[in-house]
Structures are given as C-alpha cells and as structure tokens.
C-alpha cells in the first residue's frame, strides 16, 4: 500500500525567538500576540502548512524557552529541544502603526561544547530519519554556531545521503559550500552583500549563481522580491514568475520558499514543479500577517499559474 503519511523534514535552527507583538485590534483596542519566531521556525511552520511533518532541532532555555516549546506544540511543530543555561531570546515588537517596530530583543545564548554536541546529535538523528534537512540561519548579526560546525554537519549529512537545503549567507554559507549541499536558497540582496554578485541586475545575478554552483551548490534559487526568482543547476538557468499579489507583510517569504523546496524534495517532486511551488509559497506568505504561513490549497493553486522560463543555456 502507498505511504500517505506526511513527509518529514528536519530543520536545524541555531536560534529561535519568542516574539511578542502589540497590534491595534477592533474598536481601537490593543492586542498582544505571542508566537515562536526566527528563521527556522518560519521554515518549519510553512512545511507544516504545506502538509509536511517538520522536526525542529534548536536550543531552548529559561522561561521564554518553556513558553516557546509549548507554542510549537500547539502549532503542530515537533521540537527536539536542546536545553541551555541562558534563556531563549525574546523579541518585542510594536505594530500598532501598521509597520513593525522592534522595541526590544534579548541576545540569543552562546552554546557551550556540551550543548553543541547535543544539538549536533539531534540534527544528525532527525536528518538521517527524514532524508532531508534544512540548515537555517539566524537573522542576527552575532553567530552562535561556529562556522566549522556548519561545514562538518553539511559534510556528514551529505556523506550519509541526506539532501541538504540551506538558507544562509556570509561565512555560514561559505562554510556549508565547502562540504557541498543539494540546494542553496538565497536572496538577491544576500547574493550582492556576500560578494557573489556585483549588483542585483539579472546578468550579475546569473554570474553570482554560477559562482555558487562552482563553490559547491548543486542547485540555487535566488528570491528577487516582486521580480520572482532566479534558479540554476549545472544544466540551465530559469526565471520563475508567480502572479503578483498585494503584499501585506513581506517578512518570511524567503523562508516559505525554502520550506516548499525542502518538502518538495522530500516528496520527490521534479525540479520545475519544486520551483513553482516554492515561488507560490513565498507569494502567498506576503498576503498574510505572520511569517511562514499560508494555506496549502492556495499555494498549489497559485503554483499552477506560475511560469518557469528557460533563461539561457548553461556555460560550457
């Protein structure tokens, strides 16, 4: 009999946040919303929304960590928490004026040797079981994970046959590329800021993805905000263009794309179908309040209306 159970995706999140957002509600009343946050959480949330089974491996600690674990369970996100001495970072935001304004954010805990070893073991076990692993970034200036751990993790997972999808930039991206990864998801801004591309003009971005392929990426997907995305493998380059929808909140769109790429990989989808669903997931996310959110039905319908156009032959 066919296995209709949800496909598992391991998500490695070196940082998670407990977000507290103040918003204007009906009749001028103020509302407080408390949610798990951070790039790994947003990826896991969209995997769940698309019908997959995310397993989130992340450090947690203190009262904020206890609340975060509870909220993850409420959302249906399986967590493999690694206890740490310091409390999980919290982010307080004010959105009563319409735009997000960060009021206060605590620092994420630096992980000691024992916590790093435990986190590595959690990720290794869950990634081997799932066969697909997302390595997420932090959205923070500080790096709480040593770069050599990224290299070692990506290399070990690749050697064991796990398909690794990364949403990283700067030194962590270079670290995983040294080991080789299945898919790199990156924004055009990160591609330019990291020195891979000279500008966000399309010819420069194409040169940037060619550099990523040469450095160790098997596939590359570059999000370009309202311009759709640019995708590349060793066999070709493509423009991926979903219908344009009015944006309510753009945060988390790239993470939704990463989630869709990971789940489609786990489900064995073809490359062009992966690109359509990924672009559609990012587009649906921007129509909603809440990062990494969107209904599966809306994503699949929008994917049918998303075009994938060959850009040019790969360089010989």
| Span 94-135, pLDDT tens digits | 999 888 899 998 888 788 999 999 999 999 999 999 999 999
Domain boundaries, the chain: 8-19+39-61+111-313
Looking at the chain, the whole-number percentage of residues with pLDDT higher than 90 is: 80
- The pLDDT value given to residue 98: 81
Distances (CA, A) of 240 to 48, 227, 275: 24, 9, 7
**pTM, rounded to two decimals:** 0.94
Residue 243 pLDDT class (50, 70, 90 cuts): very high
> Mean pLDDT score of the chain, rounded to an integer?
92
Distances (CA, A) of 77 to 11, 234, 309: 11, 35, 35
Give the bridge partners for 133, in sequence order. 10, 164
Q: For the chain, what is the total number of helices (H) and then of strands (E)? A: 10, 14
Mean pLDDT of 255-284: 96
Would you state the CATH architecture of domain 8-19+39-61+111-313? Answer: 3-Layer(aba) Sandwich (3.40)
Nearest to 51 by CA among 265, 298, 263: 263
- The pLDDT value given to residue 64: 96
- With a CB cutoff of 8 Å and minimum separation 6, the contacts of 203 are none
The DSSP secondary-structure symbol of 218 reads E
Nearest to 34 by CA among 111, 93, 108, 79: 93
The full DSSP string for 47-83 is HHHTT-EEEEEEEE-HHHHHHHHHHHHHHT-EEEEEE
Mean pLDDT of 234-255: 85
- The pLDDT value given to residue 308: 98
Residue 316 pLDDT class (50, 70, 90 cuts): very low
Question: 11-69: per-residue pLDDT in tens?
Answer: 999 999 999 999 998 888 899 999 999 999 999 999 999 999 999 999 999 999 999 99
How many beta carbons lie within 10 A of that of residue 238, not counting itself?
Answer: 21
Higher pLDDT, 273 or 293: 273
Q: Coil, helix or strand for 14? A: coil
Is residue 315's pLDDT more than 50? no
- Would you state the structure tokens that stand for residue 36, as one six-digit string? 């798990």
For the chain, how big is the Rg over CA atoms in Å? 19
């Amino acid at each position: 009999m066919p296995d209709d159970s949800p496909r598992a995706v391991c998500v490695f999140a070196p940082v998670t946040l407990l977000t507290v957002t103040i918003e204007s509600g009906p009749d001028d009343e103020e509302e407080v919303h408390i949610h798990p946050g951070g790039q790994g959480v947003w990826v896991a949330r969209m995997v769940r929304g698309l019908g997959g089974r995310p397993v989130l491996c992340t450090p947690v600690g203190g009262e904020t960590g206890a609340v975060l674990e509870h909220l993850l369970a409420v959302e249906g996100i399986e967590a493999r928490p690694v206890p740490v001495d310091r409390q999980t970072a919290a982010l307080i935001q004010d959105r009563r004026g319409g735009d997000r304004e960060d009021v206060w954010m605590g620092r994420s805990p630096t992980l000691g040797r024992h916590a790093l070893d435990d986190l590595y073991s959690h990720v290794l076990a869950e990634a081997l079981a799932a066969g697909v692993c997302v390595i997420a970034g932090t959205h923070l200036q500080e790096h709480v994970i040593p770069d050599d751990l990224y290299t070692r993790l990506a290399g070990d997972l690749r050697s064991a046959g796990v398909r690794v999808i990364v949403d990283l930039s700067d030194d962590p991206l270079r670290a995983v590329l040294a080991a080789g990864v299945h898919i790199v998801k990156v924004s055009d801004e990160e591609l330019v800021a990291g020195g891979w591309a000279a500008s966000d003009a399309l010819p420069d971005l194409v040169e940037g993805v060619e550099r990523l392929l040469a450095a160790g990426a098997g596939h590359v997907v570059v999000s370009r905000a309202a311009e759709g995305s640019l995708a590349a493998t060793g066999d070709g380059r493509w423009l991926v263009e979903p219908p344009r929808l009015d944006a309510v909140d753009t945060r988390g769109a790239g993470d939704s794309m990463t989630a869709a790429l990971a789940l489609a990989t786990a489900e064995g989808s073809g490359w062009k179908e992966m690109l359509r669903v990924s672009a559609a997931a990012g587009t649906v996310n921007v129509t909603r309040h809440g990062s990494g959110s969107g209904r599966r039905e809306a994503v699949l319908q929008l994917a049918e209306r998303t075009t994938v156009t060959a850009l040019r032959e790969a360089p010989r």
